[in-house]
Chains A and B, each alone.
Chain A
Amino acid sequence: MKKERSSRPKRKRTSHIPAGVPTLSKKDFESDQDTRWCPGCGDYSILAQTQRIMPELGVPREDIVFISGIGCSSRFPYYMNTYGFHTIHGRAPTIASGVKMANPDLSVWVITGDGDALSIGGNHFIHLMRRNFDLNVLLFNNRIYGLTKGQYSPTSEQGKQTYSTPLGSLEAPFNPISLALASGATFVARSLDRDPDHLRMIIKSAFEHKGTSFIEIYQNCNIFNDGTFFQYTEKDTKADNTVFLEHGEPLVFGTERNKGIRLNGFQPEVVETSNGDYTTDDLIVHDQYTEDTTLANFLAGMSDTPDMPHPIGIFRSVRHPCYEDAMTNQIRSAKDRMGEGDIEALLNAGETWTVS
């Protein structure tokens, strides 16, 4: 696989590792299990970037838990030398919620796919987003069911011909970013399996975000849906078909970086900044920290609009209270108000009588 570098400016990284903690390497996060994805699968890259970024997060291995559902991507926890739980189809969000609630100190990562998260687990996905546990969700979107050998998924384009839809699929696809935003997600981002630097940067930003972080990763299934995202990931076409989101920066893209996104009424449109009609001042300036979701929704919708570049990067990053903190607060204030639970008193509560 060719190495691709995006044209974005590099971000300054800060180390999270406190002094005195032994430094870990990528190797420390590799389990002793053979990785069993098809050769050439995009999952390899995502695994490698995750293993590479983990040492930089400064979290001891024993405090990290990877939880997955079912599907190709969901094999992921077996390859991470951390705690891991390969659960059942679509239900990883529920198990991850229990893990995080029972021990809020853990760093919890949900690994899922387009079928797992959006079809069989759709209900859990939206509720996970709105509860805002402090955990991270990596959705490997390859727009196909791989493990079951190639049926269309909820992100497959309408009319997709697969084994189960020889005459074409009938329904319109989900947009995972729009769905996450509509469900109240506090951190929503998109990255690419074939852009390792960007992917690591996004994974790290997700980790740093306090609250549920959702990352959609365009991932290539080279067996059943090869090239589905190539126009966004490959060298020749990437620059003209993607726009990288940078907070505070105008939405500029293109090989010559002479194209941008402007709002025309309620409609984002592509304009050229080199022919004198528009300047970068006319372009949308990205604000990932705004509470209002209007901009993020505009950006999310671009990938549903033909001939628009797909935004890559962080759509939204806002701070809301986390479920587990709110629960912990309820417990603390109940103890303040009523005193630490006294089990003898509880059993003997209410009207009692004694027989001697």
Chain B
Amino acid sequence: MRKPVEQIEEATILFAGDSGDGSQTIGTQMTETTALIGNDVATLPDYPAEIRAPAGSLAGVSGFQLHFSSEQIHTPGDLCDVLVAMNPAALKVHLHKLKPNGILIVNIDNFARRSLRLAGYEDNPLEDGTLAKYQVFPVELTRLTRKALETTDLSTREIDRCKNFFALGMILWLYNRPMEYTMKWVKTKFARRPQYIEANILALRAGNVYCEATEQFAVSYDVKPASFEPGTYRNIEGNMATVLGLIAASHQSGLPLVYGSYPITPASDILHGLAQYRNFGVVTMQMEDEIAAVGVAIGAAFSGSLGVTGSSGPGLALKSEAINLAMIAELPLVVCNIQRAGPSTGMPTKTEQSDLLQMFYGRNGESPIPIIAPSRPFDCFETIYEACRIAVKYRTPVIFLSDLYIGMGAEPWRIPKLSELPEIKADFAGREYAHGNGFEPYQRDPETLARPWAKPGTPGLEHRIGGLEKSDITGHVSYDAENHQRMVEIRAEKVARIANEIPPTEVFGAQEGDLLLLGWGGTYGAIRTAVEHSVEDGLSIAHVHLRHLNPFPNDLADILNRFKKVLIPELNSGQLLQLIRSTYFIDVIGLNKVEGQPFHVFELQAKIDAIFKELGHF
């Protein structure tokens, strides 16, 4: 007899184990399957910087959190319904994230005295009452996997590495998800090692059958598909969406893509992603350092390609002089910063939004550079495409300011039609630009103030550019006082004019009233969820999420003035807050957190409640 299935609206699962235990793999597989059957999904991988920290240690715990729902969701969830702990260290690190009465699946084969001690447990938490408020499911995951795979020729070590698929089989059963997508993936992944295909599928099936057969699991759950805007969807990570956006921009503009990079967490996936697409003419160059990486991108831009470089905060610090060169030379350049927790090396595998002021001000001299930020994993596609469009149109470096949380998080994406993408016109200067005085490289488009893009190889347009201040129009080296003043003003004005084509800002919730939450970047999901809850509670509250950080949208001043209070939640010590205060001369309230972790919805909720209390609403 089939066990009963309970309908629920949403669930949050956290897979956790040693960094070699494959939590990221099964988390990703569960995400793919869940997205494919139509749920809305959001994920949060949380892993250590060490590739293999000492086995069983707290430092080595790798987690993957996944939230799925039959409604639209925006975050990977605050607290979890299910925690899969492959060892005591994973339990110790993540138990506080499990809801009371939540499902706790533990691999008891890993709870020997030594492992407990490594995790800092004096007594076995499975026996001492620590877990009394949870539904605990102790499973002999290692032993059962070995038993299921005893017919294979694999070594015990190899067999043990399949136990994550046993756990995945269990979770797929628990949430009534099909195994076929994972099986298909296993077959592609291990195409060259058929023995691993068989083994992982055996483990997956065994985990599934185990739940069906034992009395431990009496009930399973189902989450119905969410309603989405019509279209074709796929699940996508932010960095992959960035890759696709860059290739799309290259394709739509007809500009060959040259991506210069140096390996760095969490931006390397963009380099890896692009390197797969040589058949799109994509050139990826892994350079000797961050400076060389931006250097080749600038050289490529001068030569008439779409020059792009990508890194994270420490890399951006090294690139800043070269970015400034592209700024004064007025060449198109796209710079991706996938932020991580700083300062210095900081916490490379943790998220933060603390590079905003670095991107604004981290260059010598007056150096205005457009900055745009994606808000969600799928939004990386549109935002990087927009970065390319602005760079090409205005002949300026543009900073695409993503972060680890967005870059490595995944969610469903409605795949756009090519016809929906805005035009990117390369518009190279041709021979007609040569006249009596020769070519004038700093003659400008009267509307955008962009200077001509004259690539080497064009007869008659031979000219010299560089980092020295240039005379207006002629581009000759100039130390003239008035000219320098004028050039500084022109470069600022050029960037400011981008605001003229920023679409009207979307205000979610009340169009005017008590409280506006103003955010940017990866905090979108948490802010939107908190504001949605507050709107349901009848509060006069709104959410504005900025894509354009420099320049700000023209309508922002008006929007800010329509609310009694403005709250800016940021994963830094108040950087947008400083910019908003100094630009608009209004007081704003900050909610700041620098823990390397995203906001929880409840943290925002508490702040909102406190502000409304102050306003006398409660």
Answer yes or no: are A and B bound together in one complex: yes
A residues contacting B by CB (< 8 A) are 31-33, 60-65, 67, 70, 77-78, 80-88, 91, 93-103, 105-106, 123-124, 127, 327, 330-331, 334-335, 337-341, 343-344, 346-356
Q: B465 contacts A354, CB within 8 Å?
A: no
Q: Which of A85, A327, A346 contacts B247 (CB 8 A)?
A: A346
User: Could you tell me which residues of chain B, from 454 to 479, have a CB within 8 Å of some CB in chain A?
Assistant: 455-468, 476-477
Q: A85 contacts B458, CB within 8 Å?
A: no
26 A–B contacts, CB within 8 A, in A order = A61-B462, A62-B457, A62-B461, A82-B462, A84-B463, A85-B302, A88-B325, A91-B292, A93-B292, A95-B302, A97-B295, A98-B303, A102-B300, A102-B303, A331-B278, A331-B279, A334-B279, A338-B279, A341-B247, A343-B247, A343-B248, A346-B280, A348-B234, A351-B235, A353-B234, A354-B232
Also in contact, A97 and B299, with CB within 8 A (given A61-B462, A103-B455, A347-B416)? yes
Bound CA span A133–B296, Å:
12
Nearest CB in chain A to that of B244: its residue:
A347
Q: B462 contacts A123, CB within 8 Å?
A: no
Q: Does B137 contact A (CB under 8 A)?
A: no
Nearest CB in chain B to that of A349: its residue:
B234
User: Could you tell me which residues of chain B, from 332 to 364, have a CB within 8 Å of some CB in chain A?
Assistant: none
Give the distance to chain A from B378, nearest Cβ to Cβ, in Å: 12
Q: Which residues of B contact A100 (CB under 8 A)?
A: 299, 303
Contact flags (1/0) for B286-325 with A, using CB distance below 8 Å? 0111011111111111111101000000000000011001
Give the distance to chain B from A54, nearest Cβ to Cβ, in Å: 12
Also in contact, A94 and B296, with CB within 8 A (given A127-B287, A331-B278, A352-B232)? yes
Q: B464 contacts A85, CB within 8 Å?
A: yes
**Could you say which of B293, B301, B416, B457 has the most chain A C-beta atoms within 10 Å of its C-beta?**
B457
Bound CA span A12–B48, Å:
65
Contact flags (1/0) for B587-601 with A, using CB distance below 8 Å? 000000000000000
Q: B292 contacts A124, CB within 8 Å?
A: yes
Contact flags (1/0) for B270-285 with A, using CB distance below 8 Å? 0000000111111101
Bound CA span A93–B277, Å:
26
Q: Which of A95, A331, A334, A352 contacts B299 (CB 8 A)?
A: A95
Supplied contacts A94-B296, A99-B303, A353-B38, 10 more A-B pairs, CB within 8 Å: A31-B464, A33-B476, A80-B464, A94-B287, A98-B296, A98-B303, A127-B292, A327-B283, A334-B278, A341-B277
Give the distance to chain A from B183, nearest Cβ to Cβ, in Å: 13
Q: Which of B125-133, B223-231, B365-373, B575-583 contacts A (4 or more CB under 8 A)?
A: B223-231
Q: A341 contacts B457, CB within 8 Å?
A: no
Bound CA span A80–B466, Å:
14
Q: A352 contacts B233, CB within 8 Å?
A: yes
Q: Which of A97, A343, A353 contacts B233 (CB 8 A)?
A: A353
Q: Does B497 contact A (CB under 8 A)?
A: no
Nearest CB in chain B to that of A324: its residue:
B283
Q: Which of B181, B278, B460 contacts A351 (CB 8 A)?
A: B181
Give the distance to chain B from A155, nearest Cβ to Cβ, in Å: 22
Q: B258 contacts A85, CB within 8 Å?
A: no
Give the distance to chain A from B574, nearest Cβ to Cβ, in Å: 33
Q: Which residues of A contact B289 (CB under 8 A)?
A: 123-124
Bound CA span A105–B416, Å:
36
Q: Which residues of B contact A31 (CB under 8 A)?
A: 464
Bound CA span A127–B162, Å:
42
Nearest CB in chain A to that of B309: its residue:
A98
Bound CA span A339–B277, Å:
11
Q: Which residues of B contact A356 (CB under 8 A)?
A: 230
Bound CA span A338–B280, Å:
10
Q: A102 contacts B295, CB within 8 Å?
A: no
Q: A78 contacts B299, CB within 8 Å?
A: no
Q: Which residues of B contact A124 (CB under 8 A)?
A: 288-289, 291-292, 295
Give the distance to chain B from A212, nearest Cβ to Cβ, in Å: 14
Bound CA span A33–B476, Å:
8
Q: B230 contacts A86, CB within 8 Å?
A: no
Nearest CB in chain A to that of B241: its residue:
A347
Q: Does B1 contact A (CB under 8 A)?
A: no
Q: Which of B231, B234, B258, B464 contacts A86 (CB 8 A)?
A: B464
Q: B299 contacts A94, CB within 8 Å?
A: yes
Nearest CB in chain A to that of B467: its residue:
A88
Bound CA span A106–B459, Å:
13
Nearest CB in chain B to that of A124: its residue:
B292
Q: Which residues of B contact A87 (CB under 8 A)?
A: 295, 298, 325, 466-467
Q: B292 contacts A102, CB within 8 Å?
A: no
Q: Which residues of A contact B260 (CB under 8 A)?
A: 94, 98
**Could you say which of A339, A348, A355 has the most chain B C-beta atoms within 10 Å of its C-beta?**
A355
Q: Does B99 contact A (CB under 8 A)?
A: no
Nearest CB in chain B to that of A338: its residue:
B279
Q: A103 contacts B234, CB within 8 Å?
A: no
Nearest CB in chain A to that of B287: its residue:
A94
Q: A103 contacts B303, CB within 8 Å?
A: yes
Nearest CB in chain B to that of A341: its residue:
B280
Q: A340 contacts B36, CB within 8 Å?
A: no
Nearest CB in chain A to that of B240: its residue:
A350
Also in contact, A95 and B296, with CB within 8 A (given A103-B457, A341-B281)? yes
Q: A85 contacts B466, CB within 8 Å?
A: yes
Also in contact, A84 and B464, with CB within 8 A (given A98-B299, A99-B300)? yes
Bound CA span A96–B295, Å:
8
Bound CA span A347–B413, Å:
10
Q: Which residues of B contact A77 (CB under 8 A)?
A: 464, 466
Q: A346 contacts B277, CB within 8 Å?
A: yes
Give the distance to chain A from B273, nearest Cβ to Cβ, in Å: 11
Bound CA span A87–B294, Å:
12
Also in contact, A102 and B281, with CB within 8 A (given A84-B465, A95-B295, A124-B295)? no
Q: Does B251 contact A (CB under 8 A)?
A: yes
Q: Nearest 6 CB-CB pairs, A to B? A: A98-B299, A94-B295, A86-B466, A341-B280, A98-B296, A102-B303
Q: B467 contacts A103, CB within 8 Å?
A: no
Q: Does B415 contact A (CB under 8 A)?
A: yes
Q: Which residues of A contact B230 (CB under 8 A)?
A: 355-356
Q: B291 contacts A99, CB within 8 Å?
A: no
User: Could you tell me which residues of chain B, from 22 to 57, have a CB within 8 Å of some CB in chain A?
Assistant: 32, 35-38
Q: Which residues of A contact B231 (CB under 8 A)?
A: 354-355
Give the distance to chain A from B389, nearest Cβ to Cβ, in Å: 16
Q: Which residues of B contact A70 (CB under 8 A)?
A: 467
Q: Does B438 contact A (CB under 8 A)?
A: yes
Q: A94 contacts B232, CB within 8 Å?
A: no
Q: Which of A127, A349, A355 contacts B229 (CB 8 A)?
A: A355
Nearest CB in chain A to that of B307: its residue:
A98
Give the distance to chain B from A105, nearest Cβ to Cβ, in Å: 7
Bound CA span A59–B230, Å:
56
Q: B322 contacts A91, CB within 8 Å?
A: yes
Bound CA span A78–B477, Å:
9
Nearest CB in chain A to that of B234: its residue:
A352
Also in contact, A106 and B460, with CB within 8 A (given A98-B296, A101-B258, A340-B279)? no
Also in contact, A62 and B459, with CB within 8 A (given A94-B299, A127-B288, A337-B279)? yes
Q: Does B606 contact A (CB under 8 A)?
A: no
Q: Which residues of A contact B38 (CB under 8 A)?
A: 353, 355
Give the distance to chain B from A124, nearest Cβ to Cβ, in Å: 6
Also in contact, A348 and B232, with CB within 8 A (given A84-B465, A94-B296)? yes
Q: A355 contacts B466, CB within 8 Å?
A: no
Also in contact, A81 and B295, with CB within 8 A (given A101-B285, A331-B278, A354-B233)? no
Bound CA span A65–B456, Å:
7
Bound CA span A300–B228, Å:
70
Nearest CB in chain A to that of B294: its residue:
A94
User: Could you tell me which residues of chain B, from 203 to 260, have a CB within 8 Å of some CB in chain A?
Assistant: 227-235, 244, 247-248, 251, 256, 258, 260
Q: B283 contacts A101, CB within 8 Å?
A: yes
Q: Which residues of A contact B477 (CB under 8 A)?
A: 33, 78
Nearest CB in chain B to that of A351: its residue:
B36
Q: Does B418 contact A (CB under 8 A)?
A: yes
Q: Which residues of B contact A96 (CB under 8 A)?
A: 299
Give the distance to chain B from A86, nearest Cβ to Cβ, in Å: 3
Q: A103 contacts B279, CB within 8 Å?
A: no
